[in-house]
A and B are shown apart, each in its own frame.
Chain A
Amino acid sequence: MTIVETPEPRQMMVVYSRADRIFRRIVTGGALTSLLLLGFITAFLVMRSAETFRQFGLDFITGSEWFSAGEDPLGGAVEGAVEEVDESVFSIGPMIVGSLVVALIAMLIALPLSIGGALYIEFYAPRSIYRVLVSLLDLAAAIPSLIFGLWGIQVFTAIGVRWATLLNDRLSFIPIFSVEFENFGRSPFVAGCVLAALVVPITTSVSREVYSRTPRDLIDTCFALGGSKWGAIRSVVMPYGKSGVIAGAMLGLGRALGETVAIYLMLNLVFRYSFEILDSAGGNVASMIALKFGEATDKEISALIASGLVLFIITLIVNMIASSIVARTTPRA
């Protein structure tokens, strides 16, 4: 018997063509640029907010007081504002809570509307208006939030106040629906409704897109098994699109968390922890930054940038949670 010697493996290498090498450099450059940009922004936020975090530590996140001493808004030096007696206090607890509460209200309203709307367009709308609806939806997603804010103040507040009154009237035994003063305008609830209107087009558009990719075969199978359309939607379309809908919702949530102008127009900024969503007080981080930035002192600007960093981190965490949920719920084919 002859023994066959196992040969030494030869080194193998993939050789790319010149065009491939050039293209590779271009796309690598593009990817690196956006990463670098993100890095620079983070570095800027961290450096400029370091002072604030050093001074206030965790209180910056948990506290509920924002007081800027030092320079007089009118330009003159304020008496007693000597350097060692700086009484400024910066903390944004209520704004963080406000951001989350308003965004949560918006998502609770927007999600069912989006899923229903997406299912209608994809499975029930007459073919003749299907195209129109799809392009209208994409158009609506591109409307600037300022427009929603203006609509919110001018038109929706009156309606929202009526809903809020009803909720307070019937459900005030639930703490979040009780209020101290029956003044429902400019409340997180009304602002959340406007934010929902702003978010609905995006989440609907994404949901419709994923629903439309359900294999026709699977839907047909449901019919072939004696199922109804609703049965097919419930047992095939919705599970199939679940991860996509969650991704769409997170996209909407990201927008809701960072929304500035609409909230700026819709809410009374109050630095007080409040979970009474019908109460005429609230705020969120982004709109607070926009409101304070124009007249801020140097120290205050550092605090505002720190607020920006906190918002940045919150958005990052939300996105990470989202992608892990999407990864976990994506059906394996």
Chain B
Amino acid sequence: MTQTQITTNQSANQQNGETSKFIGLETQGVHAWFGKHHALSNVSLRFPERTVTGLIGPSGCGKSTFIRLLNRMHEFIPSAAMAGSVLLNGSDIYAPEEDPAMIRLKVGMVFQKPNPFPAMTIRENVLAGIKLAHLKRSNHDEIVEQCLTRAGLWKEVKDRLQASGGSLSGGQQQRLCIARSLAVEPQVLLMDEPCSALDPGSTLRIEETIKELAEKITVIIVTHNMQQASRVSDHCAFFLTDGGPGYLVEADATRKMFTNPTDSRTADYVQGKFG
């Protein structure tokens, strides 16, 4: 714990030295373990605010583990451990005084499979986070309309907000899940392969949604789809494993990663030569 704090202070000092503190999400020397299994090694990345970052790499290289470290979901796995620090606008989200629930409000998450709450209506689904986190909001109707609009679903469902969330198609359900995450006003939205269970048409709709979201918030998306990464992200980070813990190969602007990457392995991967 002390170690984490020391790193925090150091980085804060460094940042103060360079410019003002970094706005957005930043990881410094992050490691992750499941019991004795070292899953992720030394990842330092910056996610500037209002950008989309794609995390790419073959299965098992620790992308999902990494993303779950960013909103403290990693710790729900028994015997999970981490090292290094994750800074949101300069402050360590793993600091002992931080409330994990508050962190997760600021750093939202959309899962792989669309999973609207089955016992709730569309409207209740959107408002679920507000209820769960006991947020005081009076303008529920406004929130529902705003979040569904931002998720690109409002026009399709505005006349049946009382229908069950399960009555929507897969793509609509996933957009409902995005709307649900937006309702608690996160600064960062993590998406773990949000389109892997969807058809190409729905995938495109979600990608449009992601681009619109990035006008206001930071988006970090794990994807196995290279076209998706190139279409939707501003920056890309390429993860790899050589059998041991996953590590970061390189991270750069998406265009550079896809046309002229520094590491030859990145070039091979984005061209589909392995993975």
Question: B-contacting residues of A (Cβ < 8 Å)?
Answer: 127, 215, 217-218, 220-228, 231-232, 235-236, 239-240, 242, 331-333
B190 and chain A: residue at smallest CB distance? A224
Shortest beta-carbon contacts, A-B, top 7: A227-B132, A226-B133, A239-B119, A225-B129, A226-B105, A331-B118, A224-B109
Which A residues touch B104, using CB under 8 A? Answer: 223-226
Within 8 A of A (CB), among B102-134: 102, 104-105, 108-109, 111-113, 115, 117-120, 128-129, 131-133
Chain B 64-84: CB-based contact to A (< 8 A → 1; otherwise 0) = 000000010100101000000
Min C-beta distance of B186 to chain A, whole Å: 9
Do B166 and A226 have beta carbons less than 8 Å apart? no
Min C-beta distance of A123 to chain B, whole Å: 12
With an 8 A cutoff between CB atoms, is B175 at the interface? no
Do B166 and A225 have beta carbons less than 8 Å apart? no
Which of A215, A220, A242 touches B73 (beta carbons < 8 Å)?
A220
With an 8 A cutoff between CB atoms, is B184 at the interface? yes
Do B76 and A226 have beta carbons less than 8 Å apart? no
A234 and chain B: residue at smallest CB distance? B132
Q: How far is the CA of A222 from the CA of B120 in the complex (A)?
A: 13
Q: How far is the CA of A333 from the CA of B113 in the complex (A)?
A: 13
Q: How far is the CA of A332 from the CA of B104 in the complex (A)?
A: 28
Do B166 and A235 have beta carbons less than 8 Å apart? no
Within 8 A of A (CB), among B150-189: 164, 166-167, 177, 180-181, 184
Which A residues touch B105, using CB under 8 A? Answer: 225-226
Q: How far is the CA of A242 from the CA of B104 in the complex (A)?
A: 28
Min C-beta distance of A70 to chain B, whole Å: 59
Do A226 and B111 have beta carbons less than 8 Å apart? no
Also in contact, A217 and B132, with CB within 8 A (given A127-B78, A224-B181, A227-B101): no
Min C-beta distance of A326 to chain B, whole Å: 14
What would be 24 A-B contacts, judged by CB atoms less than 8 Å apart?
A127-B78, A217-B115, A218-B115, A218-B117, A221-B109, A221-B117, A222-B128, A223-B73, A223-B101, A223-B104, A224-B73, A224-B181, A225-B104, A225-B129, A225-B132, A226-B101, A226-B184, A227-B133, A240-B118, A331-B118, A331-B119, A332-B164, A332-B167, A333-B118
Dominant SS among interface residues on chain A: helix
Q: How far is the CA of A220 from the CA of B118 in the complex (A)?
A: 14
Which of B101, B108, B112 touches A228 (beta carbons < 8 Å)?
B101
Instruction: Tally B residues with Cβ within 8 Å of A.
Output: 30
Q: How far is the CA of A235 from the CA of B73 in the complex (A)?
A: 19
Question: A-contacting residues of B (Cβ < 8 Å)?
Answer: 71, 73, 76, 78, 101-102, 104-105, 108-109, 111-113, 115, 117-120, 128-129, 131-133, 164, 166-167, 177, 180-181, 184
Min C-beta distance of B50 to chain A, whole Å: 21
Q: How far is the CA of A225 from the CA of B109 in the complex (A)?
A: 8
Which B residues touch A242, using CB under 8 A? Answer: 119
Which B residues touch A223, using CB under 8 A? Answer: 73, 76, 101, 104
Which B residues touch A226, using CB under 8 A? Answer: 101-102, 104-105, 129, 132-133, 184
Q: How far is the CA of A231 from the CA of B115 in the complex (A)?
A: 17
Also in contact, A235 and B128, with CB within 8 A (given A220-B73, A331-B166): yes
Which A residues touch B166, using CB under 8 A? Answer: 331-333
A222 and chain B: residue at smallest CB distance? B132
Do B117 and A227 have beta carbons less than 8 Å apart? no
Which B residues touch A232, using CB under 8 A? Answer: 132
Do A221 and B118 have beta carbons less than 8 Å apart? no
A238 and chain B: residue at smallest CB distance? B119
Min C-beta distance of A228 to chain B, whole Å: 7
Q: How far is the CA of A80 from the CA of B86 in the complex (A)?
A: 97
Which A residues touch B78, using CB under 8 A? Answer: 127
Which B residues touch A215, using CB under 8 A? Answer: 115
Min C-beta distance of B74 to chain A, whole Å: 11
Additional pairs, 7, CB under 8 Å, beyond known A220-B73, A220-B111, A331-B119: A218-B117, A221-B115, A226-B184, A232-B132, A235-B128, A239-B119, A333-B166
Q: How far is the CA of A149 from the CA of B133 in the complex (A)?
A: 47
Q: How far is the CA of A227 from the CA of B131 in the complex (A)?
A: 8
Q: How far is the CA of A228 from the CA of B112 in the complex (A)?
A: 22
B131 and chain A: residue at smallest CB distance? A235
Which B residues touch A239, using CB under 8 A? Answer: 117-120
Do B117 and A236 have beta carbons less than 8 Å apart? yes
Min C-beta distance of B219 to chain A, whole Å: 15
Q: How far is the CA of A184 from the CA of B119 in the complex (A)?
A: 44
Which B residues touch A221, using CB under 8 A? Answer: 109, 111, 115, 117, 177, 180
Which A residues touch B117, using CB under 8 A? Answer: 218, 221, 235-236, 239
Also in contact, A332 and B101, with CB within 8 A (given A220-B73, A224-B71, A235-B131): no
B108 and chain A: residue at smallest CB distance? A224
Which B residues touch A236, using CB under 8 A? Answer: 117
Min C-beta distance of B227 to chain A, whole Å: 26
Q: How far is the CA of A10 from the CA of B164 in the complex (A)?
A: 41
